[in-house]
Structure 1
């Protein structure tokens, strides 16, 4: 029965109310309804405690992660005002915990609370409460203790009683709701990362993180007495190129002529290093994952001033191009922490800011500071200039190499660009064409004569191919054997690493074959070469394996000849079966010859004839296991090899050639 379409009328328009505004659309507030959104809800509560401490109320925040995924955050600030509000004619807890866009951070006068604040919109505490299975709140202020409980966005209780405790503060414990978020199991790493970052940009503020570890409850403390300067010094270690610099300033300005003026505090700590690089940006102590205005300012100021220094001191070669920010960034450790009384975030998750005035003020500030720094520290300025030029020239050489490699790998197979000793087939029908990758020139002869030239092509591998499992791409593509194979395959290579992604040219539509058959001798050398070829395909063209285009041609281990016919045995078990079948018939048994020694008829019969050959289709799991074993047996892990042989060697004794 067909489903009846719902009519679209005036009554079809509805509005979400109360807790449903968050519970049914968490991604609007938190950026996601998954684990990332749940993590951001925690940061919203933490932000309020940090704002209190920054205003001078409390120097310690305690964060506890419970085994059931509930979280508790306790601060020692003034305590959230939750009593009756005469102006709004309701209790403040109703505004703070149950009303979006309500809070104490909307005023912007010179003596207002929270001049530089993480939480500006009055969304976080209420939204997190709405998104919780439950939330318990304990507040100490004005000689009173307030206790509130919320369940699934609704207030369950509100209690108020006098207390003799002199301290003030807020303790909030809640469990994110699995009806709202798809995952609430926030890992320890998230808490440790966030608390370390907040300790960096809130100097002297102590963050205590409590969690249940393997040996019971554990506690970690995060604090940087000198904030971003200590952090940069920690990152740089003992071998930085220059001394750590710390610069700070305040500015007043507007984003637009008709907008109100606001205040910005800028602070930057930086050092140059040829061993480590990192840049991080914070605003109102929120980590700006995507940077925005401060990042743009750093790029502009550092490139401009270093380029100016290089020109003034004739450091560029004749006709040499200008440096880029990449060249600077490769040797720069910099942490920027800015604060402003007005902030334009890209969204509620606060991962980038867009303030025009902050960009302009910070650019001008950094240019001036760098100019003074270079004048006052000529030796360090020279070191920086030389290192940036080294980075630039290395980058340009690498780009040139990559371009040459890309050109080399995209070469076509024709008379003008012939792959050495490659023998093509006549057919252009992709559903028939087979490529046999064979071991050495000797095998090439017998395979060439034993094949069907209509649809079978041959590519010989000369010598042992490079192990591509762990090799760098520039080393891989220096191998002529590998680049020749890539050309013959025709589909390009798959490169997922960011640094070499421009080499990725893979297109299955350009693949020239129906089957790629690896054909090597049935001995140790043959197995090793087969493994190396498989590893190359696994690293550079894994889709060919996933789509089932790669095969191994089995070579027989034994030839058993009688007066009337020849039998082939591919395993010891098959050999025994043939001998039992022959009974008392006279026979001659011998190990099968290498590919290069086989007669063409033998090659056709055992390895190339679709009716009689044995092909094994390769899958990714096979290659991973084979490569791992190959690496263990032939790699640098001597102890691992000894341990494996000690544990498993008895299984291979009958295969060993011991007389």
Structure 2
């Protein structure tokens, strides 16, 4: 019988590989990080990167970028010119390697500095990937006394290499291309992108002019960016004339490894900064690429500056007694800093180069900055004092603002309808605290039964979902992570009597904010019910002991037996009461004696009569000594004292044999 073939079958013939231009055109997000405008912008930066590498090596001091009205782009440099002629070693034309092969280029030498010591366009993807992703791509190169011209359409070369003699003195590369709308969803790169990128590149490439030509209405408007001294000029520009300290510039070179088994590489570190009480800006660059998401240099700056300023504050005795340590936010708020680092090996977090994760760069920069800051504080005592004072102002302002925010939040939260914020909590109608009663019940079934039998005018219900945490043993971190506990505390409204950092989101205890006149624990009259009751009592005893001491906490007694004779019903809350009823009022009569069901199985009339009605219910006021004794037994039975538990069971266990579930 022939084997059926499904159009969705997955076999050996299902595997295919993208080839040539399709590797980029069908998956642009893999190379450029996005198939939208951001990816299109990154393609521009890839071409610009190659021009920057040439200028930084001393080949040309002008880079021109042209933004045309038809959304095409041109980048021209005046470097050595991209090699495109025959490559004897590879037995191919260099233009094929540069524009048609991913991971090929002039930056894969065997040793540092073969062509580019510190390269921004490191990975050999840029020129090829951008060409593949373009509707057309034209390259004009001047070098070795020739002009070379290439033309590509949708990733395919048209016409081969055109080589003609050139008598001029100019050398360099000019690339003109139009991103393809078949590849990118949007190619209309805004003017602001070019202005931002070219300014940033001028900042970190001292002495290089970046010229933007923008075509509008058929005319070209030209804007030049140039920082003769690089990042220190930029920091001075950012800080203005009223900075707390004058900008400084530090630079060094180091060699090291990211791991012992990794090759050694070189890193050139440079940082410029000043402090200000009006401006805050921090930017990191690596091999000229702006690290929007930071990575290694950001971590180094945070560690070094917090450590140095905190050490100075301690040394000068500027902290108040028991005052908390300052944080990065307090330093960052008054810092203007630009780092501009280069390394011969770079580990970017991804192709879009927005963060690096070189461990050696982080370690070297941290060590360098700490040492420099220590000397700086000694040599500039007035500046050090201004920096420390401003950081302290920032810290104390932040802490005061946070306290104010929390107080307002707690106040506003207290005024909200908590029934909208706490799952399954059922409020009562009256706002008169002197009348309000809260019944804490176990589970949804008890919630339903109590809800039907309560007086909705003054009785609210809070169900406990599952077994509550043992607050006798748990630390505060676990306690305040428990939603069951925090929800119950919200419903109570009075806050907690705990001074611990894990209770920072809870209001401080205030009996005046208690929303209830009675807090009634209502559980089944069985072993599980007794345990839940004890857990709730233990929680209240540890977190809000004043409620117990002032007599706000009660236990609702549930009847153990229901005794029926004809149309009359008696409820007994203990074996003694049952015997008194049977041998007293019902002596000699044939009556039905039933063990009471759980709260969730009782009918509303019975619940109202035995548990909810103030005229007929039995409430036991919990006293502090009751909780202490209960907690002690509870700890004995469930705590860590194994031998004590064995001894207790051996001595007292016979009293509870009839309750044991033994078949």
With over 3 angstroms needed to count, the CA separation of the structure-2 counterparts of 1:230 and 1:413, relative to structure 1, is closer
With over 3 angstroms needed to count, the CA separation of the structure-2 counterparts of 1:406 and 1:414, relative to structure 1, is closer
Counterpart CA distance in 1 for 2:137 and 2:15 is 32
1:356 aligns with 2:359: yes
Q: Which residue of 1 aligns with 2:146?
A: 144
**Match for residue 160 of structure 1 among 159, 163, 170:** 163
Q: Shift of residue 216 of structure 1? A: 2.6
Counterpart CA distance in 2 for 1:224 and 1:25 is 38
Aligned alpha-carbon RMSD (Å): 2.3
> Contact 2:149/2:163 (CA < 8 Å) preserved in 1?
yes
Q: Shift of residue 167 of structure 1? A: 1.4
Q: Which residue of 1 aligns with 2:111?
A: 109
**Match for residue 335 of structure 2 among 326, 332, 337:** 332
Q: Shift of residue 396 of structure 1? A: 0.5
Counterpart CA distance in 1 for 2:66 and 2:10 is 49
Q: Which residue of 1 aligns with 2:42?
A: 40
**Match for residue 134 of structure 2 among 132, 135, 142:** 132
Q: Which residue of 1 aligns with 2:233?
A: 230
Q: Which residue of 1 aligns with 2:201?
A: 198
Query: For 1:416-495, what aligned pairs fall within 5 Å after superposition?
Result: none
With over 3 angstroms needed to count, the CA separation of the structure-2 counterparts of 1:244 and 1:8, relative to structure 1, is same
> Contact 2:69/2:216 (CA < 8 Å) preserved in 1?
no
3-state secondary structure, aligned to 1:57: coil
> Contact 1:19/1:153 (CA < 8 Å) preserved in 2?
yes
Q: Shift of residue 187 of structure 1? A: 0.5
> Contact 1:108/1:341 (CA < 8 Å) preserved in 2?
no
1:366 aligns with 2:369: yes
3-state secondary structure, aligned to 1:294: helix
Q: Which residue of 1 aligns with 2:101?
A: 99
Provide Cα deviations, 1:17-41, integer angstroms capped at 9, x if missing partner.
0000000000000000000000000
**Match for residue 14 of structure 1 among 7, 13, 16:** 16
With over 3 angstroms needed to count, the CA separation of the structure-2 counterparts of 1:293 and 1:90, relative to structure 1, is same
Q: Which residue of 2 aligns with 1:80?
A: 82
Provide Cα deviations, 1:239-292, integer angstroms capped at 9, x if missing partner.
000011100000000001011110000000000000010000000000000000
Query: For 1:221-620, what aligned pairs fall within 5 Å after superposition?
Result: 221-411=224-414
Counterpart CA distance in 2 for 1:205 and 1:413 is 61
Q: Which residue of 2 aligns with 1:31?
A: 33
Counterpart CA distance in 1 for 2:100 and 2:179 is 16
Q: Shift of residue 5 of structure 1? A: 4.3
Q: Which residue of 2 aligns with 1:60?
A: 62
Counterpart CA distance in 2 for 1:87 and 1:129 is 24
Counterpart CA distance in 1 for 2:379 and 2:186 is 54
Counterpart CA distance in 2 for 1:59 and 1:5 is 59
Q: Which residue of 2 aligns with 1:170?
A: 173
Q: Shift of residue 184 of structure 1? A: 0.2
Q: Which runs of 5+ in 2 are unaligned?
A: 419-426, 431-456, 458-489, 491-504, 506-663
> Contact 1:108/1:115 (CA < 8 Å) preserved in 2?
no
Counterpart CA distance in 1 for 2:83 and 2:289 is 24
Q: Shift of residue 186 of structure 1? A: 0.2
Counterpart CA distance in 2 for 1:111 and 1:96 is 19
Counterpart CA distance in 1 for 2:186 and 2:341 is 33
Counterpart CA distance in 2 for 1:288 and 1:42 is 17
Q: Shift of residue 4 of structure 1? A: 6.1
Counterpart CA distance in 1 for 2:108 and 2:176 is 26
Provide Cα deviations, 1:67-121, integer angstroms capped at 9, x if missing partner.
0100000100000100000111010000000000000101152441111000111
Q: Give the TM-score of the pair, scaled to structure 1.
A: 0.62
**Match for residue 189 of structure 2 among 186, 190, 193:** 186
Q: Which residue of 2 aligns with 1:542?
A: none
Counterpart CA distance in 2 for 1:228 and 1:254 is 27
Counterpart CA distance in 2 for 1:174 and 1:413 is 60
Q: Shift of residue 401 of structure 1? A: 1.1
Counterpart CA distance in 2 for 1:64 and 1:222 is 14
Q: Which runs of 5+ in 1 are unaligned?
A: 416-423, 428-453, 455-486, 488-501, 503-659
Q: Shift of residue 215 of structure 1? A: 8.1
1:207 aligns with 2:174: no
Q: Shift of residue 190 of structure 1? A: 0.1
> Contact 2:112/2:344 (CA < 8 Å) preserved in 1?
no
With over 3 angstroms needed to count, the CA separation of the structure-2 counterparts of 1:396 and 1:162, relative to structure 1, is same
Q: Shift of residue 131 of structure 1? A: 0.2
Q: Which residue of 2 aligns with 1:511?
A: none
Q: Shift of residue 407 of structure 1? A: 1.2
Q: Shift of residue 354 of structure 1? A: 0.2
With over 3 angstroms needed to count, the CA separation of the structure-2 counterparts of 1:413 and 1:94, relative to structure 1, is closer
3-state secondary structure, aligned to 2:271: strand
Counterpart CA distance in 1 for 2:364 and 2:300 is 8
3-state secondary structure, aligned to 2:90: coil
**Match for residue 120 of structure 1 among 122, 129, 137:** 122
> Contact 2:66/2:215 (CA < 8 Å) preserved in 1?
no
Q: Shift of residue 213 of structure 1? A: 3.2
> Contact 1:281/1:289 (CA < 8 Å) preserved in 2?
yes
With over 3 angstroms needed to count, the CA separation of the structure-2 counterparts of 1:103 and 1:386, relative to structure 1, is same
Counterpart CA distance in 2 for 1:332 and 1:111 is 35
Counterpart CA distance in 2 for 1:172 and 1:266 is 32
Larger Rg: 2
With over 3 angstroms needed to count, the CA separation of the structure-2 counterparts of 1:329 and 1:21, relative to structure 1, is same
> Contact 2:25/2:183 (CA < 8 Å) preserved in 1?
yes
Provide Cα deviations, 1:335-381, integer angstroms capped at 9, x if missing partner.
00000000000011000000000000000000011111100000000
Counterpart CA distance in 2 for 1:101 and 1:51 is 17
Provide Cα deviations, 1:390-416, integer angstroms capped at 9, x if missing partner.
00000001111111122122215689x
Q: Which residue of 2 aligns with 1:612?
A: none
Q: Shift of residue 425 of structure 1? A: 11
> Contact 1:253/1:262 (CA < 8 Å) preserved in 2?
yes
